[in-house]
């Protein structure tokens, strides 16, 4: 059909003298010229078209060129194949005939297959080119889908191309060993505490049943209307007294006195549970030194406890001092110690304090010494945890093991901070 048309077209120029062969040559030349003209025309049209349409055309051209590029060098082929993948993904977004779409899908599948083939054959040397190509493709098309495609491929490529480490000897022996589960173990005193009866009235203990209390204290108790000890008192008072039987500095078996943790409801008599034994132990002392320190969270609570201590210390030589900011720092200072003959002399046996004020005296009052401390009472311990950020406890511990000024040269025996002790029961 086309041949027929051409023939008709050339019919006007037919010349009898021209042979069949030369005519066909002329026909070919004409056709070529026409084709060139058409090409030029389309080019000029394209330059006038909006950039979006031009882009599409470029893309189509590229795809065509890719098909023909089977004889090109390996890395060029790859670059083009990636660009083709980009083309397909972008053109998918536009409305095109179904036939065209099918073709494109086929092309993209072919290209992907081709790409895979290329990747499997990529040597380590060609690795640096790969990301550049991907980026080029992006720049050319502006498509986002291609990016994900190239990114998905990249790790595989790197894994494949990463050379096996050389020069290192695999030592082995690093197989996973089964990790043993650590079982939490509570200390004995917490795991198996001595349980005290809740029912106070049903488990009262007569004060005469508790041995080791001085007549003065018993009298004081009776004067205050106390004939029986509450269960918590009946448990704690003998325990504290027992720990002091070996003297003020060492406890049973030569170890330091054991700690006691009491958890009991409000009104169960906890205050007297520590006040009575402390007074009882300290009332036998000769030299006045701070040997008991009770720390409470608030000024009011410190006042209450100080009052109880003071009432039971009355009639003894024991002196109770409160450090809770009720008085000025200087006034508290003068209550704590005095200088006599150039020597510091303690004026307090029992100190009841709030954490802040206590730390102030530890740091700023050279006349305040805790090196003879024997009893540390942390009352309202659950609330005292809140003030632990002030690190008052560590400051107390430091002060307990800090030698007083001028004391080191005079003392023969000095208390030293113990190292970790492993004790078997």
Ligand X SMILES: Nc1ncnc2c1ncn2[C@@H]1O[C@H](COP(=O)(O)OP(=O)(O)OP(=O)(O)O)[C@@H](O)[C@H]1O
Residue ranges in contact with ligand X by CB under 6 A:
226, 228-230, 233, 264, 266-272
Beta-carbon count within 10 A of 340 CB: 8
Nearer to ligand X, 246 or 268 (CB): 268
Beta bridge mates, 350: 292, 320
Residues 6+ positions from 300 with CB-CB distance below 8 Å? none
**Per-residue tokens: 16:** 């009898």
Place of tokens 């070919």: 28
Residues 6+ positions from 365 with CB-CB distance below 8 Å? 329, 333, 336, 337
Q: Least distance in Å: CB of 205 to ligand X? A: 9
Nearer to ligand X, 269 or 325 (CB): 269
Residue 198 contacts residue 266 (beta carbons within 8 Å): no
Q: Which of 229, 185, 183 is nearest to 204 (CA)?
A: 229
Residue 397 contacts residue 413 (beta carbons within 8 Å): no
Q: Least distance in Å: CB of 201 to ligand X? A: 10
Cα(308)–Cα(278) distance, integer angstroms: 12
Q: Least distance in Å: CB of 299 to ligand X? A: 15
CA distances from 175 to 150, 170, 172, 290, 383 (A): 36, 12, 8, 59, 49
Nearer to ligand X, 27 or 226 (CB): 226
Nearer to ligand X, 230 or 309 (CB): 230
Helix (H, G, I), strand (E, B) or coil at 350: strand
**Per-residue tokens: 314:** 């009355």
Q: Least distance in Å: CB of 196 to ligand X? A: 12
Nearer to ligand X, 229 or 368 (CB): 229
Nearer to ligand X, 269 or 403 (CB): 269
H-type alpha helices, 199-319: 215-223, 231-243, 270-282, 299-313
- Phi-psi map region of 142: left, alpha, beta (phi>0 left; psi -120 to 50 alpha): left
Q: Least distance in Å: CB of 176 to ligand X? A: 53
Residue 400 contacts residue 371 (beta carbons within 8 Å): yes
Q: Least distance in Å: CB of 223 to ligand X? A: 12
Structure letter (DSSP) for residue 49: S
Cα(418)–Cα(23) distance, integer angstroms: 120
Nearer to ligand X, 272 or 378 (CB): 272
Nearer to ligand X, 272 or 313 (CB): 272
Q: Least distance in Å: CB of 234 to ligand X? A: 9
- Burial environment of residue 399 by CB neighbours within 10 A (0 to 12, 13 to 18, 19 or more): buried
Nearer to ligand X, 136 or 380 (CB): 380
Q: Least distance in Å: CB of 245 to ligand X? A: 23
Q: Least distance in Å: CB of 390 to ligand X? A: 22
Q: What is the DSSP string of 74-93?
A: HHHHHHHHHHHHHHHHHHTT
Q: Least distance in Å: CB of 295 to ligand X? A: 14
Nearer to ligand X, 378 or 399 (CB): 378
Q: Least distance in Å: CB of 261 to ligand X? A: 14
Nearer to ligand X, 382 or 408 (CB): 382
């Amino acid at each position: 059909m086309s041949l027929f048309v051409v023939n008709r077209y050339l019919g006007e120029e037919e010349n009898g003298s021209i042979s069949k062969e030369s005519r066909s040559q002329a026909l070919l030349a004409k056709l070529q010229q026409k084709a060139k003209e058409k090409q030029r025309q389309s080019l000029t049209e394209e330059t006038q078209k909006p950039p979006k349409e031009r882009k599409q055309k470029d893309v189509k051209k590229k795809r065509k060129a890719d098909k023909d590029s089977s004889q090109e060098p390996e890395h060029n082929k790859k670059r083009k194949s990636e660009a083709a993948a980009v083309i397909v993904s972008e053109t998918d977004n536009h409305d095109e005939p179904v036939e065209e779409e099918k073709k494109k899908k086929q092309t993209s599948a072919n290209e992907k297959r081709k790409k895979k083939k290329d990747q499997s054959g990529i040597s380590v040397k060609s690795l640096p080119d790969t990301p550049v190509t991907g980026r080029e493709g992006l720049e050319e098309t502006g498509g986002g889908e291609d990016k994900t495609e190239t990114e998905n491929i990249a790790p595989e490529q790197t894994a494949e191309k990463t050379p096996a480490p050389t020069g290192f000897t695999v030592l082995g022996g690093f197989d996973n060993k089964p990790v043993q589960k650590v079982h939490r173990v509570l200390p004995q005193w917490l795991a198996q505490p001595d349980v005290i009866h809740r029912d106070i009235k049903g488990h009262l203990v007569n004060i005469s049943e508790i041995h080791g209390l001085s007549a003065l204290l018993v009298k004081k108790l009776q004067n205050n209307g106390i004939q029986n000890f509450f269960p918590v008192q009946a448990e704690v008072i003998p325990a504290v007294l027992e720990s002091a039987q070996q003297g003020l500095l060492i406890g049973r078996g030569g170890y330091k006195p054991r700690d006691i943790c009491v958890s009991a409801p409000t009104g169960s008599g906890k205050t007297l549970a520590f006040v009575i034994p402390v007074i009882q132990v300290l009332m036998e002392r000769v030299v006045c030194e701070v040997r008991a320190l009770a720390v409470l969270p608030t000024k009011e609570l410190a006042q209450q406890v100080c009052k109880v201590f003071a009432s039971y210390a009355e009639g003894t030589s024991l002196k109770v001092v409160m450090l809770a900011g009720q008085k000025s720092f200087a006034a508290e200072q003068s209550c704590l110690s005095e200088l006599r003959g150039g020597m510091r002399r303690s004026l307090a046996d029992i100190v009841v304090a709030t954490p802040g004020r206590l730390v102030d005296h530890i740091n700023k009052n050279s006349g305040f010494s805790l090196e003879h401390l024997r009893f540390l009472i942390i009352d309202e311990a659950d609330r005292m945890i809140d003030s632990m950020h002030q690190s008052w406890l560590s400051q107390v511990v430091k002060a307990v093991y800090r030698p007083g000024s001028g004391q080191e040269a005079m003392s023969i025996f000095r208390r030293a901070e113990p190292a970790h002790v492993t004790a078997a029961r």
